[in-house]
Each structure stands twice: as structure tokens, then as C-alpha cells.
Structure 1
Amino acid sequence: MDMEQIWKNQKKELHKQRAHGKNGMTASATEESSVIGADILSKGGNAMDALAAMQFALAVAEPFNTGLAASGFVIYYDAKKQKTYVVNGHSLAPKKAHKNIFVDEHQDVIPFLERSTPGTAVAVPGILKGMEKALDEFGTMTWPDVIEPAIQLSKKGVRVNLTWNTGLERFSDRLGEEAKAFFYPDGVPLTEGETVVNEDLTHTLELLQKHGTDVFYKGEIADKIIETVHSFDGFLEKEDLASYEATVSEAISGTYKEYTVAVPAPPNGGGFALLYMLKLLEKLEINQYDLHSWEKYYLFAEVMRIMTADKLAYMGDPAFYDIPMDGLLTDQYLEERIKLINFAFRNEDVAEGNPWKYDDKQLHHKNPSTTDPGPDTTHFIAVDKNGNIAACTSSLEHFFGSGIMVPGYGFLLNNDMTDFDPDPAGINSVEAGKYPVSMKTPTIIFKDGEPVLTLGSPGGPTIPASVLQTMIHILEYGMDVKDAIEEPRIYNGTGPLIWQEEGIPEKAKRKLESMNFQFDSIALSIGNVQAILLNPNTGEKAGGSDSSRPGIPAADQ
């Protein structure tokens, strides 16, 4: 569907999670963060200034999904240079990490809960270095200026919303004593509607404002992080923090019909996953099938399975293993993979293929790996009036991360080491100084060289699936941005089980069940998509936020 028709389909009625405007716009999973970002834009800041301010605001308003010890990838479009960059603030394995940390003496993999909450789960956090690097390279405001709104928010306190309640109900067993004291004051859980003030976090933000990231990576906060991790039997050392550096590189891109799709490169696996699935769906001409047809859901399910098989086999840190990226995305290889789709039943023989024969490297791959999902993260976006775009997916990995809160400083530590394959034989296994594979998928889509859509989502392994489906709903079915976000999504890995959101048509479900798929008995929220559609001809912007969290898009009027 052409962009002119897509724009005709955009709805403009008043809705808290829908926005329209011609200047700047932000979108995030919390109202506080979106408003702070839009205010930065209104004061003359650019998209990167707003994004940095939003990250700090989210550390206050969504401290269980992201924070000062999170990891993240930023994608940034420089409108003047017409280039798209990626800032890698992803977590790293400490220098004392080794392949056997997540197996017991019998070489059996330790259960997820047990391996995700001790100090050994904590990786070197990268988000602060990432934001510092991004602000230095692309921002216009100072570090103290972009932190100030979050300090004021932290002093005032934030309203506990349903996301807090849900997290405490489902994941409170992950909390260490320090975190439990904060989230359970006087032994009673924080509940929706309360206002909570984290004085320790306010103090930490003020230290960062005054001293920059050095206080976190080399100074008093670093000392306390190391002391805390060691008290939980971890092996993070101060040298791990002091030596961490974020990096900037140009984004990689692929095509979907007349669109160019820009995403991060490995060790980010989400970008690869999205490009791979889009190319399969382009060849399969998914737009010939009705929005609610069984064929549409069948194609989504099968391309997810095929992609996952290759992702598990080939995605790793490119500094440690060669990745056949060219081979994986060649037409010849994808034509081979399409033959696994039969429209008659779920193909039980979906396994990794051999892209090496289509890749210039002509090497052999390592053993395939498996990963456990990390369900909660956050995605946020800022677009300024000059057309610059900044988008970030940042995360503590699991809800509450490791559950370890740094005493006196008020923030949780990540458990990003669980992004590694616990099996020592896998390509994504733990190794010192290595990036684990991340499925974060901050995305910018172009047509005729101009950006037309940016979006992303949390959700661990489900992230590329959420981005993919929302993209297809907008670009192929012409849906309004908010409606496309709300259109029920599915997810599956390599097996028969499909996770579903509420509202998948019963007729389609019954058909897929007859083809040997299985549906989870409970409908789940899959991801939390934030998206902004851009009209390069008029400057108009349309934003939408996912109803699974209380976030909003906010227009800079």
C-alpha cells in the first residue's frame, strides 16, 4: 500500500495513546518520560537530547525495566547528513566470566531463576556510557541539562501504575533484601495510585549530573556496585567498569519492497531477525491474504520458526565468531528456506540451514545454541522538528533485572549475563569480554531516502516479532498506527507452541491447531510497541503507544 493511502487512514480523534503534530514528537512506555522528552524538544533540544532525558526519566518511572545499570542500543538518523548510526551501549561479560558459570558440577544447566538472580548474572552495564557517547556525537545539550528533568521527577515522586503492580505480583520472588525494602515498604507492596519517592536514586542522579559517568564507572558508585555484586557471589571487578566504552557505527540495512529498513548489526540479533523475516514475507507476498486470515498468522508463525532456527545457530558476538550475515540474507539462501513453508501443516523439520555456501567468508559455523527469554525491557523514541530521529531499546534484561539493588544508590543491577546461552558449547556461550546476543530491535524505515516510520518494542525474543507484525499492519494493510499496534500479535520459537494476544480470530486458531500448532491457553501481552509515522511531504507525524503499559506519544506543539 502506498504511503499516501496509509496517511489517509490515520485517525485523528482524541486518544491518550495517539498523537498528531508537525513539530517534534516522543513516545515511550510512561507518560512522564514522553512529556519530559517533548519538553526538551520544545526548549530547542534535538532528538538525541530528548532521548537521553527520556532514558533518565525512565530510570525513575520504570525502574524495574530499565535504569542506570541497564544495557541498550540507540539508532539515530542524522537528517542533515542523511545517515543512520547505531550507538552500542550493550552489556559485556566481565573479565572473570567463563563458559561454565551457568552449569552445575554435572554439566547440567542451572534453572533460570537460580542463575538469573545471583551476582554472576550481572554484566558490565552500558547504557550510561551509551547515552554519554550518543549525546557527545549527536546531541546539542549538556549532560547536566538532560539529567535535570529526571532529578526533578525523582524528587517529586512517580505514581505507581499497573505495570508496577503486575511486576510485583509476578516477579517479586526475584527481589533481594534491599530491593524488597523499597518495593515493599513496611512489608506491604507498593500499589497502584501511590506516589513513590526514591531518595537514594535522586542522590545518584545528582552525582551523575555533577561528575558525569566517571562516578559510575570509576568512582564511588563503581566501588559500591562491586561491593554489592561480590556480596552476591559475583565476579564483576572495578576494572570491568573502568574499561567499558560504548561504540558508534553506521546502521546496517535491508529492503522490504520499496522500503529500506535500518537496524543495529550483531551482536544485536534483533536487527538480523527483522530483516530476515521481512525478506521471507516479501517473497511470500503476505499482503494477498486478509488481515485476519489463517494464512497471515500461519506465515508469521513459520517465518518466526525458520528465523529462530538460524538465529540460534549463527548469531553471536562477531568479535569472537564469524557470522554469515551476507549468506543469511541472500536471495538464493532465502529461496531455500521458503521451501520449508507448505501451507498444509506445521513443518516439524525446521532446523538451521547452511548459509555459509552463499557467504564470502566460506567458513563453518559453531554449534547451535538456545536462550531463555527475558520478557521485560522498554522502548522509546524522539523525533525533532528538523527530522532527526533517535530511538532506543534499553533493558535490565528480566523484570527487576537481577533483583539486586545497590544500597544507598537506589538502582537495580541487570542480569544481562542470562542473554548468553548457558550451554558452554553454544556460539552464544559465556566468554570473558564478550557481548551476549540481544534481540533489541530499534528500527527506522525509509522510502525514497526519507524516513517514514520508526518503531520498537520490549519483549526479549519476541521483540522482532512485535516490530515485524506492527510494520506489516501499517505498510501492507494500511492501518492507523495505534490500530496497528493494538492488532493482536503472536509469537513462537522453533516448536509448535504459539503465544497469543487476546483477539486472535477463533477460526484462524482452529485452522492452525489442525495444522499441528498449539496455542497457549492464556492470552498474553506480547511486547509494548512504540511507533511514530512520518510524512516527508508535509512534516506531519502520527504517534501511537501500546495499551499494555500506560505510555503515551507526546507532540511538541
Structure 2
Amino acid sequence: MVHDDNRRVGSREQSVGENESTDSERGETRRRTFLKGSAVALGASAFPVTANRASAHGDESDERDRIDRVDTATSDEGMVASSDPRASTIGADVLEAGGNAVDAAVAVQFALNAVQPHTSGIGGGGFMLVYDAGEDELYSVDNRERAPFGATPDMFLEDGEPIPFDERITLGQAVGVPGTLKACDIALKRFGTRDIDDLIGPAIDLAGGARVDYYLGSTIEEEHEKFNDAARAVFAPGGTPLDIGDRVEQPDLAATFETIAEEGVGALYKGDVGEAVADVVQENGGSMTPADLGAYNVTIDTPEYVEYGDVTVRTQPLPSSGGLTIAHILSLLEPFDLGQYDRQSVEVSQLLVEAFKLAYADRGEYMGDKQFVDAPWQGLLDEEYLDERRATIESGEVTTETQQPGDPWSYQPGSPYAIDPLTVDDVSTIRDAPRPYIPSPRGSTTHFTVADDDGNMVSWTSTIEQLFGSGIMVPGQGFMLNNELTDFDAEPGGPNEVQPLKRPLSSTSPTIVFRDGKPLFTVGSPGGTTIITTVAEMVINLVDFGMGLAEAVAEPRLYANSEPAIYPEASVPEDVQDGLRELGYELSPFTRLGNVMTIRVDQETGEYTGAADFRNGGLTRGL
């Protein structure tokens, strides 16, 4: 049983939140030998090619404090990092009891459904990378939600205009057929050693009653007005939102978990639970039927990869745009030898911003569900195309208008077999349409990662889209439903238009980085479209700047897409922000971006170091 003071009862009882700094593991900064003259264009000659840290810009004690706030642990037997201490402890207990990384990851997912119902759960979906050490192979378990058979390309239009985004997210039409529970089942059958009924017990206890922490309490306060009656009864009983420190009791969720333990996942995909899902979706205007749930299955795919320096970055393929976009960003940046600069400098920040803008412009133009749309993946990563796109960065150009996509199809063999690239007029129409807000810096998704003593690793990003998803709880079943279909374009005509059975474009980017063919570190984050840049920056921090794991997680981040504004964390040094403004950029600072969970492997000793971000809370637990 798990108690609300975040301690586990049993032989492993210990306090939560111990922080073992890993600053000493920093390696030497790597140097690259090719530069293509861009440093001069960016004014590098005015800066020393020396220290790669931010201390020259601010108070070193502030930097040290940020690093110390990253929760870390080391172990040579196993590691769990998640956004909730109770979930991390449950996962570690599974490892301690002889389960493998996949077993522990499934237990973590169920626990998070109970204690962080605003970020993930069996009413949502996601993407999961599994490294099978015995096979020495990496697999992607794609459990992205799908549009029901009754979905139509114009279902988010009213009188020919997009329904306002803040209305769209609460519609039954926004709910995709959920995949998380099916992923748990398939992953256990393919890679695990335990059954669901062996792993769901702790989550049943948590659903019976658990303490509301800061992140859940503050989110309930912000989001409770969109709840349906079932959700309001749980999280705002009597109309009063639960507060931090209160006890949240979810008896319907506990009963649903017990049903799943007894009947298996068929309870959702072929049984009464699924019928309740379809009923409430239809009551809210959607078309989902029990047949849609019965037809759902996950896919097991080959991850995307990109070579970056001496590592291979392997991450999620389409329909997540994360893999191709991260690969595109890193490929654009590699010749610039980022490690020669101060990490927190105008030079590095401008390079990142311009690469982000180019990659996001192509992301929005060409990417969609690969089962429906052909994406020019070869063209995007073609060296000649990269040189063409990189030329604007080399010139020192400051992009203050919306970045335009390139033409990777000119560098791609063949032609698209599904939807043709949009015309200029089409692009202008879609870009002028009302746009969703930038995702909350606190994230409406969760990422967790696990490693076991056999070398198996899991990197799993799980989501219900917005915080508390659609706001629709399934009556009598106790879990929230996603609003993932709002990730489709509201206006038809592009590669990411709504179609029946199609998966909407995603940004989730669970990643495992390899060196010399062996895992080096896992990484992932919540944060909507900011996930892509957060993961790319983690790779850059560790590979280009040789940072220790805690240092890389603590490093201030920034985000940009194809639109004019850029979004630095408030912790980005003021002189860097001022320098970017002087160049002509429009800045909209965020308090925080992302919430990284990561595990690094010492390839000589096999020891794991785990790190959990302080931005939205978390805990690492080593055996």
C-alpha cells in the first residue's frame, strides 16, 4: 500500500527526494572540425572560444541552485525517473521484485493515472521506446489515439470557419480512440515478464485515496470549469476545487482498474467500459462507437534516427513529428561547432532559434500520419537540401517574420503518394486561421523512463493532450478522456487534416541516444510542440557541451517555431535575452519549459544515473 506521505511500506521504506549530484561526471567539451564560416557571420570573433557555461552571465550560486534542484540517483541495478515520487517508487519496487523495465514502466503508467490524472491515463495515448538488451534492438510501441470511423475533415468547422480552439478542446469530436491501455497489454506480452493484474494493484490503492500535490491542485483550480459532472464530483465536489494537501478519492477509477485486473484490456476495447466511453463521447457530440474501440490496435515500428557527432539519436517516427524534426534540427546545427561558444550566449541562442524556425516550417507543411501521407523524409535530411536551408543561418539572418517551408520534395526520390504539398495560397489561408495557444509550460503530458539490471530500457511519453484532456470523465469509470484530435488541422486540405482512423500529428519525442551501438541515455519531456526543442537541447547539452546529467537538465531552455516570437525561459540570462532583442527578435519569456526525465548509462561500468527535472517535479529511484 502507498501512503500519502510518499513513503513505501515494506522492506524498501525510505524517504523520497534524496538528491545525489552528478556534476562531477561532466566530460570534456567536444570539438568539431568543420564550420563553413558561419561563426564570423554570427560575430563569434568577439567572443573567446573557451568556457561553455553560463556563469559569465549570471550568479554562479543561481546556477548551482538550479543543478541542485534536479533530483538524481545512481545505481548499477535499475533506475526509474518519473514526474511523481509515488509512481517512481512503485516502479522501483517492481524492479526490486524481479520485474523488468517494461513491467516497471506499466506499473508507473497506472500509478500516474491515479495521482496525475490531468496529464495521462487509460483515456489517452502516447509513444513508447523499448530497448531490448537481449535482442540488442530498439522498438517503438505507437499507441497514438486514432480518429473514429465517423470523423470527417470538416468536423472542427462551423459555417466554414474553425471552431474557436478553447471550445474545440471540450467537444466529443476532440476525443480520439485511446491507446494507452492497449500499449500496456502489448508491451507486456512482447517484452515484459508480468501480467497487468500483477502490476495494477498499487494504482488501485492510490485511486482509493491519495494526497493532492501542488501540480494536481493548481491544475484543478485552473481547469475545473471545463469539467463534466462526473469529473466535477471527483475533483471539485460540491463545486469547491480540491486544494493542495487535500485527499482525492477516485472509487470509480479504482473499480475500473479492478475490472481490468480481472477481465484484461478487453474491458475497455470490447466490454462495458468501452461502451461507457462511446456513450459519453456521443453525448458530447462525437461519433465514437464501441466498434471504434474494438478496432483499435497499437503498431510496433522502427524508430527514426540521426547521426550527430559520435552519437546516434533514435526517436519516434511519424505520426509523431518529433523524430524527423529533431533530426532536422540537429542536422542543420551540426556544422556550427556549438561547443566552441558559451552555452548561454547570443550566438548559440540565435543558431538554435533559426534552426528551430526552419525545421518547424517544414514540419507544419509536410508531416502527418505515415499510414495516410507520404512525408519527404529523405529530402528533409538530404545534405544538399540542408545546405540550402542552412545558408540563411550562415548569413546571420534574423528571421522576424513567419518562416516559410522549403521544398524537400526536390531532393526526394519519387513524388508523394497521398496528399500533395500545399500551394502557397493554401499555406497562407491556414497560417492566417486562428491558432491554438502555445502549450502550458507545465505541460499536459508526462514522460517517464526506466532501466533494469539486464540493460533493458524504456522511454515513454504518455498524454491526454490538454490538462485534464477534454474535461470529460467517463461516468461510472473514473478516468478522463483525451482531446487529442485537436492536434489535427481544423481546416481540411493539408497532410494533417482529419480523416477516419487517422492519427493526428504529434510532437512527443521519447528518445534513446546510442554511442558505439550501445545505449548512452534516455530522454523525453512533456510540453506540446516544445517537446521537440527540449529534447534537442538536452542532446546538445550532453553531446556538444559535455555536461553532467543534472547540469544538462537544469540548463535554461528556449523555444521557437515558424512564427515570429521566440520563447526563452525566464532563467535565460538577461544579457542573452537583451542581445536577442537587439538583433530584432520578439521575446515572450516563459517561467519554465518542459519537464525532462532521463537516465544515463556509464558505458564502461554499466552504472545508471537518473535525473528528474525540478520544473514540474519528479523523482528518480535507483535500486
Instruction: Say if 1:291 and 1:417 are closer, same or farther in 2 by CA, change over 3 A.
Output: same
Give 1:340's aligned amino acid.
T
Task: Measure the CA separation in 1 of the matches of 2:536 and 2:123.
Answer: 28
Task: Measure the CA separation in 2 of the matches of 1:514 and 1:236.
Answer: 51
Matched, 1:532 2:599: yes
Task: Measure the CA separation in 1 of the matches of 2:469 and 2:397.
Answer: 42
1:128 counterpart residue number: 181
SS at match of 1:192: coil
Question: What is the RMSD computed on CA atoms of the aligned residues?
Answer: 2.0
Give 1:208's aligned amino acid.
I
Q: Which has the larger radius of gyration?
A: 2
2:61 counterpart residue number: none
2:265 counterpart residue number: 213
2:613 counterpart residue number: 546
1:351 counterpart residue number: 404
Matched, 1:186 2:253: no
1:489 counterpart residue number: 557
Match of residue 501, structure 1, among 556, 559, 569:
569
2:55 counterpart residue number: none
Residue 349 of structure 1 deviates from its aligned partner by 6.6
1:360 counterpart residue number: 413
Task: Measure the CA separation in 2 of the matches of 1:346 and 1:424.
Answer: 28
Residue 110 of structure 1 deviates from its aligned partner by 1.1
Task: Measure the CA separation in 1 of the matches of 2:328 and 2:521.
Answer: 19
Question: Residues 83-142 of structure 1, C-alpha deviation per residue, up to 9 Å, x if partnerless?
Answer: 10000100000111001111111x111111111101111111111111111111110111
Matched, 1:61 2:112: no
Task: Measure the CA separation in 2 of the matches of 1:532 and 1:258.
Answer: 19
1:477 counterpart residue number: 545
Residue 347 of structure 1 deviates from its aligned partner by 5.5
2:523 counterpart residue number: 455
Residue 473 of structure 1 deviates from its aligned partner by 1.3
2:296 counterpart residue number: 244
Deviation beyond 6 Å, 4+ runs, structure 1: 13-16
Q: Does the CA contact (< 8 Å) of 2:400 and 2:565 recur in 1?
A: no
Q: Does the CA contact (< 8 Å) of 1:6 and 1:475 recur in 2?
A: no
Instruction: Say if 1:327 and 1:282 are closer, same or farther in 2 by CA, change over 3 A.
Output: same
Task: Measure the CA separation in 2 of the matches of 1:180 and 1:272.
Answer: 40
SS at match of 1:239: helix
Give 1:306's aligned amino acid.
L
Match of residue 388, structure 1, among 456, 461, 464:
456
Q: Does the CA contact (< 8 Å) of 1:403 and 1:413 recur in 2?
A: yes
2:497 counterpart residue number: 429
Matches within 5 A, 1:511-530: 511-520=579-588, 522-530=589-597
Matched, 1:20 2:20: no
Give 2:421's aligned amino acid.
H
Matched, 1:108 2:164: no
Task: Measure the CA separation in 2 of the matches of 1:430 and 1:525.
Answer: 32
Question: Residues 347-385 of structure 1, C-alpha deviation per residue, up to 9 Å, x if partnerless?
Answer: 647311111122123345245566735541000001001
Q: Does the CA contact (< 8 Å) of 2:400 and 2:564 recur in 1?
A: no
Task: Measure the CA separation in 1 of the matches of 2:591 and 2:201.
Answer: 36
Q: Does the CA contact (< 8 Å) of 1:308 and 1:493 recur in 2?
A: yes
2:26 counterpart residue number: 6
Give 1:532's aligned amino acid.
I
1:94 counterpart residue number: 148
**TM-score, with normalisation over the residues of structure 1?**
0.95
Task: Measure the CA separation in 2 of the matches of 1:5 and 1:173.
Answer: 47
SS at match of 2:200: helix
Instruction: Say if 1:8 and 1:330 are closer, same or farther in 2 by CA, change over 3 A.
Output: closer
Task: Measure the CA separation in 2 of the matches of 1:305 and 1:150.
Answer: 41
1:334 counterpart residue number: 386
Matched, 1:405 2:459: no
More deviation, 408-417/490-499: 490-499
Instruction: Say if 1:14 and 1:518 are closer, same or farther in 2 by CA, change over 3 A.
Output: closer
Question: Residues 51-101 of structure 1, C-alpha deviation per residue, up to 9 Å, x if partnerless?
Answer: 111110110011011011111111011111111000010000011100111
1:325 counterpart residue number: 377
What fraction of aligned residue pairs are identical, expressed as a percent? 37
Q: Does the CA contact (< 8 Å) of 2:140 and 2:300 recur in 1?
A: yes
Q: Does the CA contact (< 8 Å) of 1:345 and 1:515 recur in 2?
A: yes
Matched, 1:47 2:67: no
Residue segments in structure 1 that go unaligned for 5+ positions in a row: none
Question: Residues 443-468 of structure 1, C-alpha deviation per residue, up to 9 Å, x if partnerless?
Answer: 00000011111010001100011111
Residue 30 of structure 1 deviates from its aligned partner by 0.6
Residue 8 of structure 1 deviates from its aligned partner by 8.9
Matched, 1:167 2:234: no
Q: Does the CA contact (< 8 Å) of 2:119 and 2:467 recur in 1?
A: yes
Give 1:358's aligned amino acid.
Y
Give 1:187's aligned amino acid.
G
Task: Measure the CA separation in 1 of the matches of 2:374 and 2:453.
Answer: 40
**TM-score, with normalisation over the residues of structure 2?**
0.85
Task: Measure the CA separation in 1 of the matches of 2:117 and 2:333.
Answer: 37
Task: Measure the CA separation in 1 of the matches of 2:480 and 2:577.
Answer: 40
SS at match of 1:163: helix
Task: Measure the CA separation in 2 of the matches of 1:15 and 1:519.
Answer: 26
Question: Residues 19-71 of structure 1, C-alpha deviation per residue, up to 9 Å, x if partnerless?
Answer: 11111001011111111111111111111111111110110011011011111
Instruction: Say if 1:380 and 1:284 are closer, same or farther in 2 by CA, change over 3 A.
Output: same
Match of residue 130, structure 2, among 65, 76, 88:
76
Matched, 1:294 2:346: yes
Task: Measure the CA separation in 2 of the matches of 1:23 and 1:488.
Answer: 31
Q: Does the CA contact (< 8 Å) of 1:420 and 1:428 recur in 2?
A: yes
Residue 15 of structure 1 deviates from its aligned partner by 6.7
